Amino acid sequence: MLKKHLSLAVALAVGLSVGVATKSFATNGYFMTGLGAKQLAMGGAAVANPQDASTILTNPAGIAWLSTSSASVGGDVFVPLRYLNGQGSQSNVYVVPAAGIAINPKGCNCKESNFTFGIGMYGVSGMGVDWNNPNGFGMAAPLQKVYSNMQMMEMDVAGAYRVDGHLSIGFAPVFVYQSMALEMDMNNAAIAQGYGYGSYAGEAPFATGTAVNSLSTQNAYGAGFNLGLVYKLNDMWQFGLAYQSKRWMQTLQWDTIPNAFNQNTGTGMLGGMFDGYKVRMRLDMPQTVQFGVNFRPVKNLRVEADAKWINWSNVMDKVPVSGIAGMNSWDFNWKNQWVYMLGVEYSPIQPLTLMAGFNYGKSPVPDGGQAFGNNIIAPAIVQTHLSFGASYDITPSVQLTAAYQHAFEHKQSGTFNGMPVSIKMHEDEYAVQLTYKF
């Protein structure tokens, strides 16, 4: 039986890796607010009272408290609406897959010690834009096109040990897949007047046309680890603490032709962005700490409140770059972020559970000046989220969960090479999840 369960875990992991989405998303910075429909419905408050296999990525200690072995599969439809100087992004609908399995050989006789393990793969973070004519001045605009697409997906292999009826601890090595594509096309006449990056202004480009500077999709891999604990004081109070290490990533690398003539609409134009034959960028993912308190005053009602610290300044302040004229870092200047989550779960009748959540995290992106303008490829600025969801037990072994989240509009402004830029953004997210208990 155990061999069969391991085979199912591997099949879920492989299937999800083949079907991973190729687009981007963002909510708390570039992190998703919740992994799976239940976490989304609860506003991301999930570290103290885990509900399904998705806790593998949130708090690996949580799988020790699941009542049975279970497998979950689902996905999100993510709709971020972004505007740069009033110009909407060309791509606004993305699909984010998720799957996980937790094996509990003994079931949850929660007064005894027990070892539980599991595996999960989720689209955990990402960001991207696709703007044409973002300055709003047609062919005379310094920026003609801005495109970015970054995605990160994690696979966690978790083990949890329930010491007794009160305490469990968990550990999970984490393996990360990352991809990145960038394009920033600039008006050559504007470049000649001094706009652009570094040695752009020192080149002698054509007075008309567009310098096409494109870095196609490249992949990198990385690793990290998660630690967690859950402490159950009694049937009313439960606490959770989780630490996610920094994700140490490989360097992304693109082959380029420096100072070459790019072809656009049949006309040769100089793109001076690249001063080396290789462009390199390293984009690690930040460490986080999350603490939660779960309160269950009556059997069919529970409330959880979480707080999460994200160490953005360590990885998104100055991102190391080489091979781009005049740059040795991309200065995003992100600040550390505190995220506050509140979730409520209520079961009015036996097969039905209703959920609602609230999530707030002040934007890590700085306001004003060039520090903000450098973030036009990564406008992760939304702050306030409200979510709803419901689970229904189709059978004692099969449960269906659906959730919806809205991120309210937020606007920030600054400059990009002396030009005023303003970004506003709001989001909608829809999630479904099917869970099978065995």
pLDDT at 246: 98
Domain range for 141 is: 2-437
**Token pair belonging to 290:** 């999350």
**Token pair belonging to 123:** 């689209």
CATH number assigned to the domain comprising residue 321: 2.40.160.60
Residue ranges, the chain, pLDDT below 70 = 1-26, 107-111, 133-144, 185-213, 257-276, 325-326
Domain count within the chain: 1
DSSP E strands, 299-383: 301-310, 318-322, 329-331, 337-349, 352-361
pLDDT at 255: 82
Q: Which residues of 364-391 are buried (b: 16+ CB within 10 A; e: fewer)?
A: bbbeeebbbbbbbbbbbbbbebebbbbb
Q: Which residues of 52-88 are buried (b: 16+ CB within 10 A; e: fewer)?
A: bbbbbbbbbbbbbbbeebbbbbbbbebebebbbbebe
The model's pTM:
0.86
| Whole-number Å distance between alpha carbons of 160 and 342 | 25
3-state SS, residue 272: coil
**Token pair belonging to 331:** 């200065």
| Whole-number Å distance between alpha carbons of 421 and 370 | 9
pLDDT at 351: 96
pLDDT at 270: 34
3-state SS, residue 64: helix
DSSP E strands, 93-236: 94-103, 114-132, 143-162, 167-187, 210-211, 214-232
pLDDT at 141: 53
